[in-house]
């Protein structure tokens, strides 16, 4: 039976893409490198208020942004990826929403309405990339369990809100506060499931760039991206960017629980990570923290034909964990020779940065690659640094094109 939703999607102009999926034997959405089951189970679908995105799972909803949206400096709200762990997702009423600030690390616990949050603290707006820790997990070789993301579990936006540190200051922070824990309004269908609660080390929570935000690209947060208020933790992976934020607990001890350990961990010493979460470290592993240097070619498609003997523009993005990307090199011969790409406008060190590279291809096959570096000299890897959760995949892409 043809599913009605797919027909609607195609009719709504989710483009020929929706229609293409209806035809038997149509090519899958990709990308190449995902497991057969991940390729077969993905489809275009539309969450309320969103454009057609790549459905990885329906419940909880996990929807990926198609690469074509990444040719813009900021990712449209209705194309922004969606990621949930737990299927109980409330429609939060902004009028009755309250943010509770408490815990054993404060002297003056209090509550805020949205109007008070917006009235009482200085407003800050900054550009930052929000990238799921597991972005590109589906490309891990060997494959590892979890949501089988391709390249699109990320988006860049302008976030507006107030500094978390200003809100915490009103609560009277204890000098020995070690972690700040955050809870959102989403819940699990079963009471026995660990609630999704995450903490930050106090130093990161108090960073002037860590925000409690209610706006994204000049508009209220979309429901699926945390309405009415979410945490914005520039430089760090999105696991810490709590959506539908309802409570902040200042703690004098480390937060325990599944979502802190064993979830969202990387093996110690495998990645060039600078920012540490010391109160959560154990001998074998540490929580994931800042994003590694990475890049994405956004306009060329693998195995496609392009015109020879006329300028071909390679476009893409580059980002890191907040040190700032300062160099992108492109190779068009499979990595033998590298040349500098031209960097686009700098929207701040937490934003991704666009880049372009022009070359005039001879007829034949070319393998195009891009490699970003940042201000502290970190760069991408050529071979996967395997880890059981499939995090920090910054393997240099190899895009094979044919020119004629």
Partner 1 sequence: MIHRSVTTRLASGAIGLALACGAQAGEDAIELKDGPGREQVQRNCIACHSLDYIQMNSPFLDRKGWEASVGKMIKVMGARIDDADARVIVEYLAAHYGK
* Contact footprint for partner 1 (CB under 8 A): 1, 3-5, 35-38, 40-43, 45, 47-48, 55-61, 87-93, 142-143, 145-148, 185, 187-194, 223, 258
CB of 394 to partner 1, least distance (A): 22
Name which of 41 and 356 has its Cβ closer to partner 1. Answer: 41
Name which of 258 and 386 has its Cβ closer to partner 1. Answer: 258
d(CA 195, CA 186): 8
Name which of 24 and 36 has its Cβ closer to partner 1. Answer: 36
d(CA 142, CA 140): 6
- Per residue, what are the HEC states of 30-79? CCCCCCHHHHHHCEEECCCCCCCEEEEECCCCEEECCHHHHHCCCCCHHH
Radius of gyration for the alpha carbons in the chain, expressed in angstroms and rounded: 22
Tokens describing residue 96: 């009755």
Burial of 19 (0-12, 13-18, 19+ CB in 10 A): middle
Residue 55 phi, psi (nearest 5): -75, 120
269-278 contact pairs (CB < 8 A, 24+): 270/385, 270/387, 271/385, 271/392, 272/378, 274/321, 274/323, 274/376, 275/204, 275/235, 275/236, 275/321, 276/201, 277/200, 277/201, 277/204, 278/201
Strand-pairing partners, residue 314, are: 357
Name which of 287 and 321 has its Cβ closer to partner 1. Answer: 287
What element of type H or E holds 157?
strand 154-163
CB of 66 to partner 1, least distance (A): 17
CB of 38 to partner 1, least distance (A): 5
Name which of 262 and 363 has its Cβ closer to partner 1. Answer: 262
Name which of 186 and 290 has its Cβ closer to partner 1. Answer: 186
CB of 271 to partner 1, least distance (A): 23
Name which of 89 and 129 has its Cβ closer to partner 1. Answer: 89
CB of 300 to partner 1, least distance (A): 27
d(CA 37, CA 133): 21
Name which of 153 and 211 has its Cβ closer to partner 1. Answer: 153
CB of 138 to partner 1, least distance (A): 8
d(CA 293, CA 373): 6
């Amino acid at each position: 039976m043809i599913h009605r939703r797919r027909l609607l999607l195609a009719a709504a102009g989710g483009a020929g893409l929706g229609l293409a999926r209806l035809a038997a034997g149509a090519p899958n959405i990709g990308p190449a490198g995902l497991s057969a089951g991940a390729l077969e189970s993905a489809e275009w679908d539309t969450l309320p208020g969103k454009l057609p995105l790549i459905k990885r799972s329906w419940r909880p909803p996990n929807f990926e942004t198609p690469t074509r949206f990444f040719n813009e400096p900021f990712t449209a709200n209705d194309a922004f990826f969606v990621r949930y762990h737990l299927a109980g997702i409330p429609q939060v009423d902004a009028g009755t929403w309250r943010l509770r600030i408490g815990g054993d690390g404060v002297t003056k616990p209090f509550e805020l309405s949205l109007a008070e949050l917006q009235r009482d603290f200085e407003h800050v707006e900054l550009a930052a990339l929000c990238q799921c820790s597991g972005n590109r997990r589906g490309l891990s070789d060997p494959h590892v369990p979890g949501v089988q993301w391709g390249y699109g579990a990320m988006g860049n936006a302008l976030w507006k809100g107030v500094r978390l540190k200003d809100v915490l200051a009103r609560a009277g922070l204890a000098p020995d506060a070690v972690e700040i824990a955050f809870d959102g309004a989403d819940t699990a269908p079963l009471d026995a499931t660990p609630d999704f609660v995450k903490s930050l080390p106090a130093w990161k929570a108090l960073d002037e760039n860590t925000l409690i935000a209610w706006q994204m690209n000049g508009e209220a947060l979309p429901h699926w991206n945390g309405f009415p208020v979410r945490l914005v933790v520039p430089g760090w992976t999105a696991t810490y960017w709590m959506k539908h934020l309802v409570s902040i607990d200042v703690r004098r001890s480390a937060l325990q629980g599944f979502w802190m350990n064993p979830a969202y961990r990387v093996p110690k010493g495998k990645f060039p990570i600078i920012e540490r979460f010391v109160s959560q470290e154990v001998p074998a592993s540490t929580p994931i923290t800042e994003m590694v240097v990475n890049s994405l070619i956004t306009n060329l498609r693998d195995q496609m034909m392009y015109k020879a003997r006329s300028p071909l523009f390679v476009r893409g993005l580059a980002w890191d964990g907040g040190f700032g990307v300062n160099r992108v090199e492109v190779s068009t011969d499979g990595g033998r020779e590298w040349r500098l790409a031209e960097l686009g406008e700098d929207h701040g060190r937490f934003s991704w940065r666009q880049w372009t590279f022009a070359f005039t291809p001879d007829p034949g096959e070319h393998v195009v690659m891009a490699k970003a570096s940042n201000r502290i000299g970190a760069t991408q890897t050529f071979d996967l640094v395997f880890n059981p959760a499939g995090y920090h995949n910054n393997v240099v892409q190899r895009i094979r094109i044919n020119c004629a």
